[in-house]
Amino acid sequence: MATITNHMPTAELQALDAAHHLHPFSANNALGEEGTRVITRARGVWLNDSEGEEILDAMAGLWCVNIGYGRDELAEVAARQMRELPYYNTFFKTTHVPAIALAQKLAELAPGDLNHVFFAGGGSEANDTNIRMVRTYWQNKGQPEKTVIISRKNAYHGSTVASSALGGMAGMHAQSGLIPDVHHINQPNWWAEGGDMDPEEFGLARARELEEAILELGENRVAAFIAEPVQGAGGVIVAPDSYWPEIQRICDKYDILLIADEVICGFGRTGNWFGTQTMGIRPHIMTIAKGLSSGYAPIGGSIVCDEVAHVIGKDEFNHGYTYSGHPVAAAVALENLRILEEENILDHVRNVAAPYLKEKWEALTDHPLVGEAKIVGMMASIALTPNKASRAKFASEPGTIGYICRERCFANNLIMRHVGDRMIISPPLVITPAEIDEMFVRIRKSLDEAQAEIEKQGLM
Ligand code: PMP
């Protein structure tokens, strides 16, 4: 059989893909019949497919390619590290320079006394680490009954059985169930669930659900609260301003650990190194992945504070992955952090890209389909609605309208995702104003076409 390359006809690649490759979060039988798009190369914010199309990637892959595609420095660092030390573990009284250097750098970048890093292969594994870590922490402190972790509905914390149970995605729970001692409270999604309350009143009410849950479950049983500073995969849900200060007050009052899942928000996405800095909260543990290596190598981890590190360190922590602190992934991540820092990419976000994006994004509410437009740094969402004033939902199955809109974006060579009937973006942080202009040409064209399609199908 011929070697499979980028130069094969698209139809042949699609047929082989359909025959042998099971895709994540997909209905694979239907997908195989429809045919996948074959991505062949990428530079900056642009992808190419096997038909020679140029696609603007407004999602930075899966929210991860923060420095943009095509940075040769990372390839060179990976090759150098593979030649020198392609693999070694850190389990049995050994360590290596890439893990040391990356842990030190993360301790420097992370706020407060978040000075210790436990590495994982990605965000899901890191959240599994967190579950075992917070339970071990309370056991070592002589309070083994503190096992319950409170999370939020519609949160995404990963796809392993434990991290998806920690998350609040009902579809995932339906396929693999929950795990013991995880409890979910409601999300601060004012547009969809705020009813007649004003946003700030609603934010406070949703934060106080944490206090109600602690009192109901028993203060002596609650180990931790986990949340994304901005809910990403849930639809870029930005909490009202009243929400986070109240959550912080409650965590402090009841002495529970606060875990910030920074897998999307970390490494510049919200305009600071970490989303907790943007939201003004003080976590004990932060989950990291994605932008840590800008997706060039699979790596994630948990950054933990002095106290947690000290307490779990009292005894053997029965936990670790073959690829914890993988030297090639760690070296690539370190180079990615160097580029983020030395090229002042956070300044570009704060002073150039995010303000420009915000102005244009919020102006989308002039479109007949668009209700609210939310944005924090370089992550943003719009809610599609048949009636802005009443914040109405479409009568069709949730997601029908969002899917139509996403298909129009795809046809217009723009990668924009839908979550239900919300449309979301999270472009590479290095995107330029001219590229943002081009993105909005495609967004507006796609929205207009989606509206025409919805009207044609009688779904308005
Ligand atoms: N947490 C959050 C907030 C995420 O968005 C994701 C991935 N989308 C994860 C955890 C899981 O990370 P991974 O896919 O690297 O396992």
CA of 63, closest atom in ligand 1: 8
The ipTM of this complex is 0.99
Q: Any bridge partners for residue 57, and if so which?
A: 415
Rounded to the nearest integer, the mean pLDDT of the chain is: 97
Query: Which region, left, alpha or beta, applies to residue 268 given φ > 0 means left and ψ of -120 to 50 means alpha?
Result: left
Q: Which phi and psi (to 5°) does residue 374 adopt?
A: -115, 145
CA distance 69 to 303: 26
How far does the centroid of ligand 1 lie from the alpha carbon of residue 163, in Å? 9
CATH topology of domain 72-342: Aspartate Aminotransferase; domain 2 (3.40.640)
Under DSSP, the state recorded for 351 is I
Domain residues of the chain, as ranges? Answer: 38-67+344-456, 72-342
Q: What is the model's pTM?
A: 0.98
Q: What sign does the dihedral 394-395-401-402 (CA atoms) show?
A: positive
- Which two three-digit tokens encode residue 6? 């980028």
Q: Which CATH class is domain 38-67+344-456?
A: alpha beta
By percentage, how much of the chain surpasses pLDDT 70? 100
Strands lying side by side in the sheet with 414-415: 39-43, 46-49, 54-57, 414-415
For residue 397, count other CB atoms closer than 10 A to its CB: 10
Q: Take atom 10 of ligand 1 and give the residue whose Cα is closest.
A: 157
For residue 29, count other CB atoms closer than 10 A to its CB: 9
Query: Which region, left, alpha or beta, applies to residue 169 given φ > 0 means left and ψ of -120 to 50 means alpha?
Result: beta
Ligand 1: residues whose CB is within 6 Å? 62, 122-124, 127, 156-158, 228, 232-233, 261, 263-264, 289, 300
pLDDT tens-digit map of 208-267: 999 999 999 999 999 999 999 999 999 999 999 999 999 999 999 999 999 999 999 999
Q: Which phi and psi (to 5°) does residue 247 adopt?
A: -60, -45
CA distance 146 to 126: 20
How far does the centroid of ligand 1 lie from the alpha carbon of residue 63, in Å? 9
**Residue 1: pLDDT band by 50, 70, 90 thresholds?**
low
CA distance 419 to 264: 16
How far does the centroid of ligand 1 lie from the alpha carbon of residue 99, in Å? 21
pLDDT at residue 460 in the model: 85
Nearest to 225 by CA among 238, 206, 240: 206
